[in-house]
Amino acid sequence: MQDLKVVNISCEYKTNPLGIDVKKPRVSWQIESTQRGTKQLAYQYQVSLSETDFEQPLYDSGYTESEQSLHIEYTGPELESHKRYFNRVKVWNQDGLDSDWSDVAWWETAFLDQSEWQAQWITPNPSEIDQTPVFLLRKEVQLKKEIASARIYATAAGVYELSLNGEKVGEDLLAPGWTSYNKRIQYQTYDVTSQLTGSKNVIGVLLANGWYKGDLTWEDKRNIYGDKRGVTLQLHVRYQDGTEELILTDGTWKATTGPILYSELYHGETYDARLEQKGWDTIGFDDSNWKSTVVASEFPTNLVAQENNPTRVTETIFPQSVFITPAGDTVIDLGQNMVGRIRLKVEAPAGTKIVLKHAEVLDKDGNIYFGNLRSARQTVEYITKGEGMEEYAPIFTFQGFRYVKVEGYPLQNGKLPVENFVGEVIHTDMNKTGEFETSNPLVNKLQQNIVWGQRGNFVDLPTDCPQRDERLGWTGDAQVFIRTAMFNYQGGPFFTKWLRDLKADQFKDGGVPFVIPNVLPDGESSSTAWGDAAVICPWTVYLVNGDKRILAEQYESMKNWVEFIRRQGENEFLWNNGFQLGDWLALDAKENSYIGATARDLIATAFYAYSTRVLRDTAVVLEKAEDVRTYTELLGGIKQHFNLEFVSSTGRLTSQTQTAYVLSLVFDLVDGKVRDRAAFELNEHVLDNDYHLTTGFVGTPYLAFALSNNGYHETAVKLLLQDTYPSWIYSITKGATTIWEHWDSIKPDGSFWSDDMNSFNHYAYGAIGDWMYRVLAGIEMEESVPAYKRIRIQPRIGGTDFTYVSANFESMYGKIESSWNLTEEEVRLTVQIPVNTTAQVILPNANIENLQEDGRYINNVDGVLSITEAEGDVRLEVGSGTYQFIYPNEKGMKKIYTINTRLIDLLDNDQTKEILEKYSPGITRPNPTANLKVLSLKELASPGKAKIPHDGLEKLVKELNLVESVELNLS
Ligand code: BGC
């Protein structure tokens, strides 16, 4: 049996991409084998113009000895536009065994040189351009012969949807997506071979305002990129006899308006079905009263092929309930704060107007709440034509909502027939890559909320929120969340596109706008932690996917950002001036301020150091020796000045905030004793707050890392599990189904933070997901060998409330899994390592003698390359394969867990309180019971910090009847 198989060939991250303009496309593949420890020794890669004939390939790498299986760049003869290139791969493993040829995959080029684009931009007649309704454009097309294949290449100034002979073309929504239109605009490619029928065909286009000229930003600015809508389109027909024909947009196309009277991204859509022009996009329709379009020149010129995955409906959700609010509104509850639209069915007399108003939450009285939408109306109106059952979903708008207020819908037996409504979830259709689950349902809910936050805000670009009058590509938010995002979904194409816009919109001086594409007023300055997206985002894509090209493409932009900072501060090593957003929304902010207490120059200098480090590391990857030297030196200087300026000689920071300590630790700005002190102070800070955080956008993503990686993992876990305000789980106790913008978007008393800035779907605080995958589950990588070529499985087992944590991640090489399970008796760890990678597996509190894998003692296990014991852990080097490790839980990891939770569980009981008070003299904190509630026994009895004397602790545990015999293992 052939055991070696090449699967999942992708090109530029996509399976069989149609319409690319990459001149040297990169191909990646995965390998399957049931044999452990499999690696690729060599590959052979061929490209052919024929799907079946590889006898005379266009390109043949020949037998190439290399482990590389990701991003193999095509180096054959120059590609031509509008051609399909087929490819296949075979590989050899370390023993010289070869696979069969893979299945054939392909890519197809669009315009490799944009000067080949011939179609003109057309716009509806000038008398019509200021109209609000969505335009219909049409063109009858005569084809002369039998067709072999046909493609449409199209884009629009606005958002558009195509139809051919009355049928929608493709499934994309909101094409051409949002780019920095004045610098670059994407076109889409559609295979319409099967939609063309006979010689006569009609191309139809619906054309709305979208991001190009519709309302954007809280100032409701219009016409940001231009004041006319336009379309440019080419239909390429290849006849069976080999000849070709092009049909292009020109002034012979006709346009008018139709049933969509209004459509705006923020505000919704108004559709009057009585105005439908039946058959407008089919043959034989009389368009004599439509106006001619005009050819216009003021449209974007830099056309690029679609880079991102398209935006699509990815799921439908059926309403959970319908109810009447205290204010008397009829409201549908989807049960999930989602982004997309409602599809409805209705049968009613002509002219019946149904109004849907979308909102995210109910207020504390149970009424639907629109306040936080600010000026975004999120209102969809449908007016019936009265011809039986009608179906409608808005096309050029999307809403962020869980609740829908329904007005005007004809009731049946006094009730709203809720089965006629369905929610359609819309976002960039990325491949799902990650799954995370634990023994704690609240944490699982948090993971789901993070994923929903990502789905709702990855609508063609990374946005801050999907509901109010923003929905903008805020750089800080994207930077904060990207690593988590890249666990949940394959974000390669998504961030490649967005980063090209970042580069395009970067200010001349290297500053980075707050939002990308930049639609905020000129002259806006740059802020730390926002502008750093220019450096952090490409680096993250590189780390996760091994994508060197994104580093090469963005390198100048990364460098310009660091050089920009270098020119800012009072000396080249500090950034201590200018406008800064600071630790945005941190809880230590002054009354009425959005900006947390951590000194802004400390944050700015810390991020300056971090970006410089990443830039230096990028220079290493790109082999730019001179820059490696320059930025290593610069980094040294920044670190030194950071210490001079912000750290006392005994290791206190000038800002005594969680965020300050977090940044100094995770950005590696403090060493030795100062570092220990910083970690200690951070932990104390969290303890002093009864295990609550105070961090905002800047500190939150790194907080748990700073604790776990500096000796305070249990504190990090308690922060995660904290369910009182402020915490991640708190929002879940208040019914959150997504991540909120503020820790107190809904306050403990049920009131709202404020109308002015209160999104219930903001992904930034979802950045904890990164730590959940990397630390709790322990799926980590060796950064010097990106893309998880060298994996580290290092789960944190025991000492916490979890009895199992399970995560898997579809890396570029294939699936990685780390799942652990803890009982009183044993520890089990399931690990999956993809072919062509290796892993170090660290089994905590294990020893070699009784560690087994699938029933065998560890020193006799296939795939295990080396075994060492260090610091109470067993460390294994393993090759690819799936492993089931089991070892006895000798070190009592569970015991700590049991005692802790039961102590917490019992607290509300009077008898317990009494017993606790009896032992309280040893407790140094003001409120003994409150503190006991949150301190683990380990902390209570740790030397130097004893809150209860050790013997007292033992008695206490016994008296509480927690365990039969007390054998405290406090290590
Ligand atoms: C956005 C944030 C953003 C911030 C910065 C807000 O309005 O929603 O997420 O990063 O502004 O000013």
Helix/strand/coil for 400: strand
CA 463 / ligand 1 centre spacing (Å): 10
Report yes or no: 228 and 209 within 8 Å, Cβ to Cβ.
Answer: no
Asked whether the predicted pLDDT for residue 909 surpasses 80, the reply is no
* 538 half-sphere exposure, CB direction, 13 A CA radius: 30
pLDDT of residue 104: 98
Identify which has the larger pLDDT, 933 or 691.
691
Per-residue model confidence as pLDDT tens digits over 169-213? 999 999 999 999 999 999 999 999 999 998 999 999 999 999 999
pLDDT of residue 942: 43
Average pLDDT estimate for 461-475? 97
Ligand 1 atom 5, closest CA:
581
Average pLDDT, the chain: 91
Per-residue model confidence as pLDDT tens digits over 220-256? 899 999 999 999 999 999 999 999 999 999 999 999 9
Whether the CB of 583 sits within 6 Å of ligand 1: no
B/e letters for 905-944, b = 16+ CB within 10 Å, e = fewer, are ebeeeeebbebbeebbebbeeeebeebbebbbbbbbbeee
The candidate with the shortest Cα–Cα distance to 454, out of 414, 420, 495, is 495
Query: Could you tell me whether strands 368-369 and 361-362 are parallel, antiparallel, or unpaired per DSSP bridges?
Result: antiparallel
| Residue type for position 75 | T
CA 464 / ligand 1 centre spacing (Å): 7
| Residue type for position 826 | E
Asked whether the predicted pLDDT for residue 946 surpasses 90, the reply is no
Average pLDDT estimate for 746-761? 93
Quote the tokens at residue 449: 């909320």
CA 373 / ligand 1 centre spacing (Å): 14
Exactly one of 307, 741, 780, 853 is catalytic; name it. Answer: 741
Per-residue model confidence as pLDDT tens digits over 759-814? 999 999 999 999 999 999 999 999 999 999 999 999 999 777 799 999 999 999 99
- Kindly give the residue spans of alpha helices, DSSP state H, lying in 468-547: 475-488, 492-505, 533-545
pLDDT of residue 268: 98
Whether the CB of 469 sits within 6 Å of ligand 1: no
How buried is residue 630: exposed, middle or buried, by Cβ count under 10 Å (0-12/13-18/19+)?
A: middle
Is residue 927 very low, low, confident or very high in pLDDT (cuts 50, 70, 90)? very low
Asked whether the predicted pLDDT for residue 934 surpasses 60, the reply is no
Is residue 860 very low, low, confident or very high in pLDDT (cuts 50, 70, 90)? confident
Rounded Cα gap, residues 917 and 932, in angstroms? 10
pLDDT of residue 129: 62
Whether the CB of 476 sits within 6 Å of ligand 1: yes
CA 515 / ligand 1 centre spacing (Å): 9
B/e letters for 808-846, b = 16+ CB within 10 Å, e = fewer, are bbbbbbbebbbbbbbeeeebbbbbbbbbbbbbbbbbbbb
Asked whether the predicted pLDDT for residue 945 surpasses 50, the reply is no
Per-residue model confidence as pLDDT tens digits over 512-548? 999 999 999 866 689 999 999 999 999 999 999 999 9
Asked whether the predicted pLDDT for residue 15 surpasses 90, the reply is yes
Per-residue model confidence as pLDDT tens digits over 288-304? 999 999 999 999 999 99
| Residue type for position 450 | I
pLDDT of residue 908: 39
Percent of the chain whose pLDDT exceeds 70: 91
pLDDT of residue 800: 76
Per-residue model confidence as pLDDT tens digits over 144-161? 999 999 999 999 999 999
Q: Length of the chain in residues, anyone?
A: 971
Is residue 914 very low, low, confident or very high in pLDDT (cuts 50, 70, 90)? low
Rounded Cα gap, residues 341 and 423, in angstroms? 6
Per-residue model confidence as pLDDT tens digits over 697-744? 999 999 999 999 999 999 999 999 999 999 999 999 999 999 999 999
Rounded Cα gap, residues 655 and 648, in angstroms? 11
Is residue 923 very low, low, confident or very high in pLDDT (cuts 50, 70, 90)? very low
Integer-rounded Cα radius of gyration of the chain: 30
Asked whether the predicted pLDDT for residue 967 surpasses 70, the reply is no
Atom of ligand 1 nearest to the CA of 474: 10
Q: Is 219 a catalytic residue?
A: no
Whether the CB of 481 sits within 6 Å of ligand 1: no
Question: Beta partners for 231?
Answer: 122, 156
Whether the CB of 465 sits within 6 Å of ligand 1: yes
* 124 preceded by a cis bond (ω within 30 of 0): no
The candidate with the shortest Cα–Cα distance to 685, out of 695, 675, 671, is 695
DSSP 598: S
Whether the CB of 515 sits within 6 Å of ligand 1: no
Per-residue model confidence as pLDDT tens digits over 313-365? 999 999 999 999 999 999 999 999 999 999 999 999 999 999 999 999 999 99
Report yes or no: 618 and 539 within 8 Å, Cβ to Cβ.
Answer: yes
Whether the CB of 474 sits within 6 Å of ligand 1: yes
Rounded Cα gap, residues 560 and 512, in angstroms? 9
Exactly one of 264, 307, 470, 810 is catalytic; name it. Answer: 470
| Residue type for position 908 | D
Rounded Cα gap, residues 744 and 747, in angstroms? 5
Asked whether the predicted pLDDT for residue 944 surpasses 50, the reply is no
Q: Is 783 a catalytic residue?
A: no
CA 474 / ligand 1 centre spacing (Å): 7
pLDDT of residue 925: 31
Ligand 1 atom 4, closest CA:
474
Atom of ligand 1 nearest to the CA of 218: 7
pLDDT of residue 871: 82
pLDDT of residue 125: 79
The candidate with the shortest Cα–Cα distance to 563, out of 501, 608, 499, 502, is 608
Structural element, H or E, at residue 601? helix 600-621
pLDDT of residue 951: 56
Mutation probe of ligand 1 site: the residue of 374, 477, 518 with most atoms within 8 A of C-beta: 477
Asked whether the predicted pLDDT for residue 920 surpasses 50, the reply is no
The candidate with the shortest Cα–Cα distance to 708, out of 773, 625, 781, 637, is 773
* 726 preceded by a cis bond (ω within 30 of 0): yes
pLDDT of residue 128: 61
CA 80 / ligand 1 centre spacing (Å): 44
User: What are the strands of the beta sheet with 790-793, ordered from one edge?
Assistant: 779-781, 790-793, 838-843, 873-878, 864-870
DSSP 823: -
pLDDT of residue 204: 98
CA 666 / ligand 1 centre spacing (Å): 24
Asked whether the predicted pLDDT for residue 906 surpasses 90, the reply is no
Per-residue model confidence as pLDDT tens digits over 377-417? 999 999 999 999 999 999 999 999 999 999 999 999 999 99
Rounded Cα gap, residues 89 and 45, in angstroms? 5
Per-residue model confidence as pLDDT tens digits over 479-515? 999 999 999 999 999 999 999 999 999 999 999 999 9
Mutation probe of ligand 1 site: the residue of 463, 470, 579, 760 with most atoms within 8 A of C-beta: 470
Quote the tokens at residue 742: 């503020």
